[in-house]
Amino acid sequence: MLTRLGVPFTQTSPNVNELSYDDRFAEIPAEDFALLLARAKATALIQRDGDRWLLCADQVGVLEVDGERVLLRKPGTPEACVDQLMELSGRTHRLVNGIVLHSEIDGKELTAIDVQTLTMRAFDRAEAEAYVALRSPLDCAGGYRIEDEGIRLFESIDSRDYTGIIGLPLIATARLFREAGLL
């Protein structure tokens, strides 16, 4: 997705155990939690005497059930994926993206938050099972991919930038790059 902005980059994966931060989710707003995870990734990648800009992002799925916030995780197994989809059936949830652009040169940090609100239509377990068997979205928060047949599970989407649903909101990212003088 980042190639669409025309900025040269290299990619690496930070060594961050996202699950170790779960206890913080109940304490802080979802927006702050997404930024916390993105900052943790940037911190893990910082090199002493480095000269790079680090772009790190994290997406947090949030469902409100009976006044309680539920963190939507990557399901990992087909059974957990179907269960999570059934929990979302007929409900509205949010995808909150935290984006951090960090300079190794001077420690400057630019941040952005992007929120998507998605409402799934009511569907039955057989439809959820068929989708999971077809696409196996086990590594996706919420257990779906909007860019494939997962779109059929939705009733509506409220979004300023659909790329935020996929995981990296390019409009907000481009804004940070412009602010840093990279675009």
Q: What is the spatial distance between Cα 25 and Cα 35, in angstroms, rounded to a whole number? A: 11
| Residues with catalytic function | 58
The per-residue pLDDT for 97 is: 97
Q: For residue range 51-93, what is the model confidence (pLDDT) as tens digits?
A: 999 999 999 999 999 999 999 989 999 999 999 999 999 999 9
State the CB neighbour count (10 A cutoff) for residue 106: 7
Whether domain 30-180 has CATH 3.90.190.20: no
Does the pLDDT at position 120 exceed 90? Answer: yes
Q: What is the spatial distance between Cα 78 and Cα 93, in angstroms, rounded to a whole number? A: 21
Residue 100's SS3 state is: strand
Nearest to 116 by CA among 99, 142, 92, 94: 94
The average pLDDT across 116-125 equals 98
Q: What residues does each domain of the chain span?
A: 30-180
Work out the pLDDT band at 35, boundaries 50, 70, 90.
very high
Q: For residue range 17-34, what is the model confidence (pLDDT) as tens digits?
A: 999 999 999 999 999 999
Q: Residue 177 CA to chain centroid, in angstroms?
A: 19
Q: For residue range 160-174, what is the model confidence (pLDDT) as tens digits?
A: 999 999 989 999 999
Residue 143's SS3 state is: coil
Contacts of 9 (CB under 8 A, 6+ apart): 2, 55
The average pLDDT across 128-134 equals 98
The per-residue pLDDT for 167 is: 85
Nearest to 78 by CA among 39, 129, 30: 129
Does the pLDDT at position 37 exceed 90? Answer: yes
Total-model pTM: 0.93
Nearest to 88 by CA among 43, 55, 114, 125: 125
Which helix (H) or strand (E) is 92 found in, with range? strand 92-103
The per-residue pLDDT for 15 is: 95
